[in-house]
Structure 1
Amino acid sequence: MYKLTGVTKRYTRGRETVEALRGVDLTIEDGDQLVIQGPTGGGKSTLLQMIGALDRPTEGSVELDGVDLARVSEAKLTRMRAEKIGIIFQSVNLIPTLTARENVETALVPLGVKAAERRERAAEALRSVGLGERPGHAPAELSGGQRQRVAIARALVRKPRVLLTDEPTGNLDEGTRDDIMGLLEGLWHEYGLTFVLGTHDSSIARRASRPATIDAGRITLTEQAVARAAR
Structure 2
Amino acid sequence: MYELRGTTKQYRRGKKTVDALAGIDLTIADGDRLVIQGPTGGGKSTLLQMLGGLDRPTSGSVELDGTDLAGLSESRLTKVRSENIGFVFQSFNLIPTLTAQENVETALVPLKVKARERRERAAAALESVGLAERLGHLPAELSGGQQQRVAIARALVKQPKVLLADEPTGNLDESMRDEIMDVLDTMWKEHGLTFVMVTHDSSIAGKAPRVATLRKGRITVKENVNS
Query: What TM-score, normalized to structure 1?
Result: 0.95
User: In the alignment, which residue of structure 1 is the partner of 2:13?
Assistant: 13
SS at match of 2:91: coil
Displacement of 1:116: 0.7
Kept in 1, the 8 Å contact 2:37–2:214? The answer is yes
SS at match of 2:9: strand
Root-mean-square deviation (CA, aligned residues, Å) is: 1.0
User: In the alignment, which residue of structure 2 is the partner of 1:66?
Assistant: 66
User: In the alignment, which residue of structure 2 is the partner of 1:229?
Assistant: none
Kept in 1, the 8 Å contact 2:8–2:57? The answer is yes
SS at match of 1:92: coil
Partner deviation per Cα, 1:35-69 (whole Å, 9 max, x = no partner): 11112211110000000011100010000010001
Query: What TM-score, normalized to structure 2?
Result: 0.97
- Runs of 4+ in structure 1 over 4 Å off: none
CA distance in 2, matches of 1:217, 1:57: 12
Kept in 1, the 8 Å contact 2:86–2:164? The answer is yes
CA distance in 1, matches of 2:13, 2:137: 41
Task: Map 1:77-88; keep pairs closer than 5 Å.
Answer: 77-88=77-88
Kept in 1, the 8 Å contact 2:210–2:223? The answer is no
User: In the alignment, which residue of structure 2 is the partner of 1:228?
Assistant: none
Partner deviation per Cα, 1:154-173 (whole Å, 9 max, x = no partner): 00011001000000000100
CA distance in 2, matches of 1:134, 1:196: 28
Task: Map 1:24-173; keep pairs closer than 5 Å.
Answer: 24-173=24-173
Q: Does 2:177 match 1:180?
A: no
CA distance in 1, matches of 2:67, 2:55: 15
Kept in 1, the 8 Å contact 2:206–2:224? The answer is no
User: In the alignment, which residue of structure 2 is the partner of 1:206?
Assistant: 206
What percentage of aligned pairs have identical amino acids? Answer: 72
Unaligned runs of 5+ in 2: none
Give the aligned residue type for 1:141: E
Kept in 1, the 8 Å contact 2:101–2:135? The answer is yes
CA distance in 2, matches of 1:112, 1:11: 36
CA distance in 1, matches of 2:2, 2:217: 18
CA distance in 2, matches of 1:27, 1:118: 34
CA distance in 2, matches of 1:202, 1:142: 28
